[in-house]
């Protein structure tokens, strides 16, 4: 399988597994990656997800070996398949961490940006390489980068295809941490496990708030936020949190 899922306690690790091609995404992988995140969204035993690549790389983007002559209908279908992966990762109702080593380019970088957090190797290589084949960005790239670093910096990365390493990505706000390559998965798992032990239903509501905030006025955002705090006050995790506070002990959240 070119996309695998491993369960480590309450954390699921989704791994792109085509190392001989730096995990360049094939048509098969588009289907498997989408199915993986759709399935994890409904799996109540999973409370956080790590996305990574096996070996030394994260993802080199789309497999150029599959580029060819297609009719317009097929081109639209292929684009839809790319975009639905972005939606599935971005809208997952659980915290997500991308563990990035080596190459992280094109749509592969977009999928990492769809995660809540990126832990990057200091020597990771990030780039948007669409211009090298005279293509416009896809998989939500322009929107994702603009949200993270603003329009001008996003344009510079997309227009030039400039490669940045993990350290610069962290400095620009495109990664949470830049660590030694051998520490990437340990750091990503530590973060994912911490998130999985938290009130994941409340985290899902917070994720929704950030999604709404990206495209709303302040007043519209407050309207969308309005029902969320009262709703969260009815959860078992809220009751546990209050009780733990009163008893001066760490809370034991169950995601309910």
Output the CA–CA distances (angstroms, integers) from residue 112 to 65, 73, 127, 228, in the order listed.
Answer: 22, 28, 12, 28
Q: What is the pLDDT of residue 108?
A: 93
In the chain, pLDDT over 70 holds for what percent of residues?
Answer: 96
Q: What is the pLDDT of residue 80?
A: 80
pLDDT in tens, 62-72: 877 666 666 67
Q: What is the pLDDT of residue 94?
A: 94
Examine the pLDDT at 31 and tell me if it is beyond 80.
yes
107/86 Cα distance (integer angstroms): 9
How much is the pTM? 0.90
Collapsing DSSP to helix, strand or coil, 25 comes out as: strand
Share the mean pLDDT of the chain.
90
Output the CA–CA distances (angstroms, integers) from residue 106 to 23, 41, 149, 254, in the order listed.
Answer: 12, 25, 17, 37
Kindly state the average pLDDT of the residues 236-240.
83
234/132 Cα distance (integer angstroms): 52
Of the given ranges (28-32, 172-176, 249-253), which has the lowest mean pLDDT?
249-253
Kindly state the average pLDDT of the residues 54-58.
95
142/137 Cα distance (integer angstroms): 7
pLDDT in tens, 175-223: 999 999 999 999 999 999 999 998 988 898 899 989 888 888 999 989 9
Q: What is the pLDDT of residue 66?
A: 63
């Amino acid at each position: 399988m070119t996309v695998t899922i491993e369960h480590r306690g309450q954390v699921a690790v989704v791994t792109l597994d085509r190392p001989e091609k730096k995990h360049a995404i094939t048509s098969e992988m588009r289907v498997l990656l989408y199915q993986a995140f759709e399935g994890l969204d409904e799996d109540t035993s999973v409370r956080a997800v790590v996305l990574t690549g096996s070996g030394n790389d994260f993802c080199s983007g789309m497999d150029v070996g599959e580029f060819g002559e297609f009719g317009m209908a097929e081109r639209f279908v292929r684009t839809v398949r790319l975009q639905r992966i972005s939606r599935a990762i971005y809208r997952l109702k659980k915290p997500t961490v991308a563990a990035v080593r080596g190459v992280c380019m094109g749509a592969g970088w977009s999928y990492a940006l769809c995660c809540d957090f990126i832990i990057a190797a200091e020597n990771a290589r990030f780039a948007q390489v669409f211009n090298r084949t005279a293509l416009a960005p896809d998989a939500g790239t322009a929107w994702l980068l603009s949200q993270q670093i603003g329009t001008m910096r996003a344009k510079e990365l997309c227009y030039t295809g400039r490669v940045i390493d993990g350290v610069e990505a962290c400095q620009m706000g495109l990664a949470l941490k830049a660590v030694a390559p051998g520490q990437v998965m340990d750091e990503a798992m530590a973060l994912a496990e911490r998130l999985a032990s938290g009130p994941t239903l409340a985290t899902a509501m917070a994720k929704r708030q950030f999604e709404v905030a990206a495209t709303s006025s302040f007043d519209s955002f407050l309207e969308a936020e309005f029902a969320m705090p009262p709703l969260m006050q009815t959860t078992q995790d809220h009751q546990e949190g209050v009780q733990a506070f009163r008893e001066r002990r760490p809370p034991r959240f169950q995601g309910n």
